[in-house]
Amino acid sequence: MLTDIAARLQALFDQVHLWCSQSAFWSGVFAVGWSLFKVVLIIAFMVVNVLVLVWLERKVSARIQSRLGPMRVSRPHGWAQSLADMVKLLGKEDIIPRSADRALFVIAPIVSFTAALLVYVVVPMGPSAVVSDLNIGMLYLAAVTSFTVMGVLMAGWGSNSKWTLLGAMRGAASIISYEIPMVLAVLGVVMLAGSLSTTAIVQAQSGLWNIVLQPIGFLVFLAALFAELNRVPFDMAEAESELVSGFNTEYSGLRFAFFFLAEYANLVALSAIGVTLYFGGWQGPVLPPLAWFLIKTYAFIVLVMWIRWTLPRVRIDQLLSFGWKVLLPASLVNLAVTGIYLLWV
């Protein structure tokens, strides 16, 4: 039944494609339309995932903390809670502080959101299910993830409030200094795969997952991931109990929702990258690749949440010294060991 529909869609797609390729103009339209379709698909995938994740996070934290978590909105277990929250946020008054830098204030959430979106381009969800199999996938990733910091900085500066500024400065410092160990850790994986393309990296792990070969690299990646995602123990930019709410203190309603969306979209994206790099991506027996991909990604996300709800927050200077004095050397050692390993094998 399902394969039937898929086959028909495929046939339809082929026909349209064929028809369009007859003239230069229509093939252009087709290319644009097809890209737009992909973009919409990504956004849909992301939003759905975020909604599930927000709910999941609340459930996981509730379970850890001996609570029930959201239960009211729809049965079972209040699964529609994040939908309701979304609707609530959409209905909120849009407040822009009088002293804020309007342009920056308005753009910041969009920048954050877009940065999160861009990562999805290279996440391989199946053998051919990747938006664009760039042969410089990992490089692209390293470039794009740093975009997040722009949104944070713009929001912090644009709000024109002291707490947001402090949050933004912290966020920028932590994200930038954790970018380097992260890239270095990822480099180990790239060396093993011999390619920067994410698909190739997944295929290189068909035998053994990289987590076995690169335990140190994985830990460095995990630590950097927390800084990149602004999560406890490294949630410098938000630091609820210190900076009120950090860089997004002044935001409310729809704009706040964008930050929220971006935060969780980043979580999915980076977890997906983590799975791709260290847990064999979409590979797995019996189940279809997409299922494996989702299962692994969600398992990874639960791990991230579990850590988040266990640890206290470090201080910004400790965070930085940890990044430069521990993670960086560790990732370099990892790199060297990987090189030696490759020479020998």
Partner 1 sequence: MRSLIDIVTGFWSFVVGLGVTLLNALRRPVTFQYPERYYVPLEGFRGYPALVVDPDSGEVICTGCQACARACPLGVISMEVAQREDKKRYPTEWRLDFGRCMVCNLCVEACPFDALRMSPDYEVAEYRPEDLLYDLEHLKLPREPIAVSRLDGTTVKVSFAGGERG
Partner 2 sequence: MTAISEVRPVPGGLGEHELLVNMGPQHPSTHGVLRVILRVDGERIVEARPDVGFLHRCFEKVSEGWTYPQVVPLTDRNDYVSAMTNELAYVLAVEKLLGLEVPEKAQHLRVLIAELQRVASHLVWFGTFALDLGATTPFLYAIREREHILDLFEALCGARLTYSYMRIGGVRNDLPPGFDRRTREFLKLMPSRLREYENLFMKNRIYELRSRGIGRVSAEEAVAYGASGPTLRGSGVDWDLRRDEPYAAYDRYRLRVPLGRNGDVYDRAYCRFEEMRASLDLIEQVLESLPEGEVRAKVPRVIKPPPGEVYSRVESPRGEVGVYLVSDGGPNPYRVKWRAPSFVHLQLLPLMAKGHVIADMVAIIGSIDIILGEVDR
Q: Buried b / exposed e across 160-173, counting CB within 10 Å, b at 16+?
A: bbebbbbbbbbbbb
The SS3 assignment for 283 reads coil
Residues in the chain: 345
100 binds partner 2 (CB under 8 A): no
310 binds partner 1 (CB under 8 A): yes
318 binds partner 1 (CB under 8 A): no
143 or 311, CB closer to partner 1? 311
65 binds partner 2 (CB under 8 A): yes
107 or 302, CB closer to partner 1? 302
Q: Long-range contact list for 208-211, CB < 8 A, 24+ apart?
A: 209/278, 209/279, 209/280, 210/277, 210/278, 210/279, 210/280, 211/278, 211/279
206 or 310, CB closer to partner 1? 310
The two most distant CA atoms of the chain are separated, in Å, by 64
Radius of gyration of the chain (CA): 21
92 or 315, CB closer to partner 2? 315
326 binds partner 1 (CB under 8 A): yes
Count how many Cα atoms sit within 13 Å of the Cα of residue 332 in the half-sphere of its side chain: 8
Residue 63 binds which entry of partner 1, partner 2, none, CB below 5-8 Å type-dependent:
partner 1
Backbone angles phi, psi at 45, to 5 degrees: -55, -45
Which region among 25-33, 61-69, 122-130, 250-258 touches partner 1 (by CB under 8 A)?
61-69
Q: Provide the token pair at 110.
A: 């969009």
169 or 227, CB closer to partner 1? 227
Q: Provide the token pair at 79.
A: 């699964």
Of 24, 98, 312, 345, which lies in the binding site for partner 2, with binding defined by CB under 8 A? 312
Query: Measured from the CB of residue 265, what is the shortest distance to partner 1 in angstroms?
Result: 25
Three-state SS across 250-266? Answer: CCCHHHHHHHHHHHHHH
64 binds partner 1 (CB under 8 A): yes
Site string for partner 2, 188-227 (x = CB under 8 A): ----------------------------------------
Of 34, 298, 306, 341, which lies in the binding site for partner 1, with binding defined by CB under 8 A? 306
Give the separation between CA 212 and CA 263, rounded to whole angstroms: 29
Residues that bind partner 2 (CB under 8 A): 61, 64-67, 162-163, 166, 170, 232-233, 235, 239-244, 309-318
Q: Which residues bind partner 1 (CB under 8 A)?
A: 62-68, 71, 306-307, 309-311, 326
